[in-house]
Amino acid sequence: MSRIGKLPVNLPAGVTAEVSADNVVSVKGPLGQLSQAVDRDIAVKVEDGVLTVTRPTDQPRHRSMHGLYRALINNMVVGVSKGYEIKQELVGVGFKAEVQGNVLQLSLGYSHDIWIMLPDEVKAEALTDRKANPIVTLKSIDKQLIGQVAAKIRSLRKPEPYKGKGIKFVGEQLRRKAGKSAGK
């Protein structure tokens, strides 16, 4: 059995899960509702506030999907009950971030500002303090979507290894290089 797949998913108070006839799992909670289509070979059962995922055989295809769908369902349960948050730091002279509605405006040292239209499910905040790097905070109930948006923002200016300038996740350890003066 898959170590991840055989673990049951406990539904916290205020969270309900339903499995439809066409194997679509819908999870409702205080923060919203998410749904995920599950492969027809994988069985999902909800009993007494516990959701279990089972597979029919030990074929490699079934084994790989067993843990995958359990993890996706668990991410949905955590998302609708607590939500997800990602913080990114803009390191560099003159780097700025502003949020207007669902549009994120970034000034990253290019000749132009970059405007990113955020999905409706993702909420953003930009915090700029004096003598500190700007921090962009993304919040959502969908873990896949918030991770994809954060990766897109980071790809606009990845941290470089010499001075560390760019967009990095808060708390991320960057691998730094010494530069050409270290070789002498």
Higher pLDDT, 98 or 5: 98
Nearest C-alpha neighbor of 133 from the set 167, 161, 160: 167
Higher pLDDT, 179 or 19: 19
pLDDT at 184: 63
How many CB atoms lie under 10 A from the CB of residue 73?
22
And the tokens for 173? 């350890």
**Do the domains 84-169 and 9-81 match in fold?**
yes
Give the up-direction half-sphere exposure of residue 152: CA atoms within 13 A in the CB hemisphere.
15
Sign, Cα dihedral of 65, 63, 45, 4: negative
The pLDDT tens digits for 102-141 are: 999 999 999 999 999 999 999 999 999 988 999 999 999 9
Is pLDDT at 1 greater than 60 in this prediction?
Answer: no
Is pLDDT at 69 greater than 70 in this prediction?
Answer: yes
Percent of the chain with pLDDT strictly greater than 90 = 86
Secondary structure, 3-state, 41-57: CCEEEEECCEEEEECCC
pLDDT at 50: 95
pLDDT at 179: 83
Which homologous superfamily does the CATH classification assign to the domain defined by 9-81? Ribosomal protein L6 (3.90.930.12)
Boundaries of every domain in the chain: 9-81, 84-169
Q: Residue 110 burial by CB count (10 A; 0-12/13-18/19+): exposed, middle or buried?
A: exposed
Q: Residue 63 burial by CB count (10 A; 0-12/13-18/19+): exposed, middle or buried?
A: middle
Mean pLDDT of the chain: 93
Contact 27, 77 (CB under 8 A): yes
Q: How confident is the model at residue 2 (pLDDT cuts 50, 70, 90)?
A: low
pLDDT at 180: 83
Radius of gyration of the chain measured on its C-alpha atoms: 21
**CATH 3.90.930.12: does it fit domain 84-169?**
yes
Rounded to two decimals, the pTM is: 0.89
Is pLDDT at 56 greater than 90 in this prediction?
Answer: yes
Q: How confident is the model at residue 30 (pLDDT cuts 50, 70, 90)?
A: very high
The pLDDT tens digits for 133-183 are: 999 999 999 999 999 999 999 999 999 999 999 999 999 999 999 888 776
CA distance 141 to 78: 8
